[in-house]
Amino acid sequence: MTMLTKRAFPAGLLPLLAAIIVSGCAGAQPIRLPGSFHVADADFDGTRLRIRLPNGRVARLDVDEYVSGSVPAEAALGGLDPATARAVAEVQAIVARTYAFANRRRHAHEGFDLCATTHCQVFRPLSTWPAPIARLARDAAHATRGMVITFADRPINAVFHADCGGHTSDAGSAWRGDSPPYLRGTPDTYCVKDGAAPWRAEVSISDLRRALNRDDATNVGRRLEELEITEQDAAGRAVHVTLHGARTLAVRGERLRSVVNANLGPRTIKSTRFTVLRDGRHVLFEGRGFGHGVGLCQTGALARARAGHSPRDIIAHYYAGTAVAAWHSLPRVSASALPARTVLFTGSWTASDYPRARGPHAPHWLQE
């Protein structure tokens, strides 16, 4: 594999190796997460982001303005008691800022940082929200100003979802490869207390076959006979599903969900925590939860806030081993100072990406 030169990084910058991946790593099992990761680089001052709005216009927004507009767009704040609403809003503000900083170059090739849709993170200007909600979101952004969730001195990819159904999943179960230490599955009894009832979706064989055939990865041909869950994770989510038809195909559960929902509606298969059964000319999906199930569960976070948990405690539960820190306190390095053939971390993670970040001050998982 291509190695970093020993003179490239002094010891004081070793934590930054967590943000670097080198090409040609034989035998690595990278995880493909949505978005991309970046070190706290010297070329970004953490004050403004370029956001493409739904009308196509690119707006250069103050970070807190962006966070304020993302909080109510991504978290339901209405109807909550003041203390709960404040805690939920502050959790979402820290998550929104972290996600934005970690993924801010996702659309760099298009001339902006992030879009304002679910592809990145939903944003709506505060002027479009009722005054009490806008005030709550603005106060949350101000109270958490500059704070991000970090692991090894860099912002994490703070993925979140609506409802885990009682247990979150490893990132590697939802997508592919090994999981970063902070995106490991964990039971969530609070989500069970406040979560939605089990869901059910009945789809005709003909409609399902047409939906599957619109994607090369799930194209079964002229006949669909059965869907078989061949692997589940600890949370009960379908990791792999075999499609039996004119062609027999093995696909990841999350890919199946994405294809079906893209063609039959976004709430058809709400999560991969499902069972599937053929009933005559129909296929019956039954499950719990809503979303990919990785990272922070918003239903569980709300229940924890209602029980009096602090924003930091809520974040610590869902992103194990992380710390909440001020963005401007993180070490920085200019992207132009990186060695040749070294690229910033762009969505793949393995323990081998930390080849020298070991020793008594390294995270415990690097010392094993």
State whether 26 and 115 are in the same domain.
yes
Provide, rounded to the nearest whole percent, the portion of the chain with pLDDT above 70. Answer: 77
Nearest to 318 by CA among 334, 338, 303, 337: 303
Domain termination site, one of 237, 262, 287: 287
185: in domain? no
**Amino acid 25: pLDDT:** 32
What is the predicted pLDDT for the residue at 113? 87
Alpha helices (H) in 181-326, listed in sequence order: 189-194, 205-212, 253-264, 298-306, 311-318
Residues 47 and 151 in one domain: yes
Expressed in angstroms, the distance from the first to the final Cα of the chain is 22
Share of the chain above pLDDT 90, in %: 62
Q: For 177-310, where are the alpha helices, taking DSSP H only?
A: 189-194, 205-212, 253-264, 298-306
187 vs 6, more confident: 187
Provide the number of structural domains found in the chain.
Answer: 2
Are residues 335 and 272 part of one domain? no
Residues 328, 250 share a domain: no
User: Are 148 and 41 found together in one domain?
Assistant: yes
Above 80 in pLDDT, residue 357? Answer: no
Q: Indicate whether 359 belongs to any domain.
A: yes
Which of 102-116, 120-134, 255-269, 321-335 shows the lowest mean pLDDT across its residues?
Answer: 321-335
Strand partners, 154: 151
Q: What is the pLDDT of residues 321-351, one digit of tens each?
A: 999 999 888 887 554 544 433 233 333 333 3
Q: Does residue 247 lie in a domain region?
A: yes
Greater model confidence, 146 or 357 = 146
* 343 shares its domain with 245: no
Residue scoring higher pLDDT (349 or 146): 146
To 10 degrees, what angle do helices 82-102 and 131-143 make? 60
Same-domain status, 211 and 98: no
Binned at pLDDT 50, 70 and 90, residue 33 comes out as very low
Residue 39, φ and ψ in degrees, nearest 5: -70, 165
**In this predicted model, what pLDDT tens digit does every residue of 67-76 receive, in sequence order?**
999 999 999 9
Residue 195 binned pLDDT confidence (cut-offs 50, 70, 90): low
The candidate with the shortest Cα–Cα distance to 20, out of 35, 44, 3, is 3
Range 203-211 average pLDDT:
97
Half-sphere exposure of 314 (CA within 13 A, CB side): 29
Residue type, 292: H
Note the pLDDT of residue 360: 33
- The mean-pLDDT minimum among 11-15, 71-75, 272-276, 347-351 falls in 347-351
Beta strand extents in the chain (DSSP E only): 20-22, 48-52, 58-62, 114-115, 147-151, 154-155, 160-161, 199-204, 224-232, 238-245, 248-252, 274-279, 282-287, 296-297, 323-326, 342-344
> What is the domain range of residue 225?
199-287
Q: What is the pLDDT of residue 34?
A: 45
- Predicted local distance difference test score (pLDDT) of residue 4: 34
Those residues with Cβ within 8 angstroms of residue 13's Cβ, 6 or more apart along the chain or in another chain: 331, 333
pTM of the model: 0.77
* Dihedral (CA of 317, 177, 290, 143) sign: positive
Contact assessment for residue 309 and residue 300, using Cβ atoms and an 8 Å cutoff: no
Give a yes or no: residue 203 inside a domain: yes
Q: Which residues contact 90 (CB under 8 A, 6 or more apart)?
A: 140, 143, 144, 311
Do 206 and 139 sit in the same domain of this protein? no
Which of 260, 287, 314 is where one domain is finished? Answer: 287
Say yes or no: 28 and 137 in one domain: yes
Q: Do 49 and 153 fall within a single domain? A: yes
Whether 26 and 138 share a structural domain: yes
Regarding predicted confidence, which is higher, 179 or 39?
A: 179
| Range with top average pLDDT, 40-54, 101-115, 187-201, 228-242 | 228-242
What is the reported pLDDT for 328? 87
Question: What pLDDT was estimated at residue 43?
Answer: 52
Which phi and psi angles does 93 have, rounded to 5°? -65, -45
